[in-house]
A = this chain, B = another copy of it.
Amino acid sequence: MNDNSDATTGSYRLDDQVGFILRRANQRHLALFARDIPDLTPTQFAALAKLCELGQASQNALGRATAMDAATIKGVIDRLRKRGLVAARRDADDARRVHLSPTDQGQQLYAALLPRAREISAETLAPLAPQEAAVFLQLLEKLAGE
């Protein structure tokens, strides 16, 4: 019973806690992204990518698909619209909804950035051997839930 990872016993070192390491891993990824794709934030790219995948979506639906709450997705879409990458119009069937779709420019940018996005994913996983990366992604997916 010397297990330091026990939930109620043993020492607590910040550097060994999942949350802390998760935050650092995320930081490293964000830094790689900012270096390779300086013109778009990871969040903005996620929204654009998902919208291109789906073709269209309501604002909140896109938020759910990209794990952003209503307040967050609004700011992200505002910025993408300001840059002409996303078009918005009131939904005809449902007056509450904002119907979103990527503009031509948005689709072109997405296509142009795809290789670099793949690169970023590879670079992020670079410290792991290929099989390790596969295992890691499976476990990480479990951890993320939903």
Contact = CB atoms under 8 A, between A and B. Distances in A.
Interface string A19-48: 111111111111001000000001000100
Interface of A: 5-8, 12-14, 16-30, 33, 42, 46, 49-50, 53, 66-67, 114-115, 117-122, 124-125, 127-128, 132-137, 139-146
A88 B129 CA distance: 45
A144 B21 contact: yes
Contact of A142 (B13, B29, B118, B128): B128
Given A8-B115, A53-B13, A124 B28 contact: no
25 contacts: A5-B121, A5-B134, A6-B118, A7-B118, A7-B122, A12-B117, A12-B118, A14-B53, A16-B137, A17-B117, A17-B121, A19-B29, A19-B30, A21-B137, A22-B22, A22-B29, A24-B67, A24-B146, A25-B143, A28-B145, A127-B145, A128-B142, A135-B135, A135-B139, A136-B143
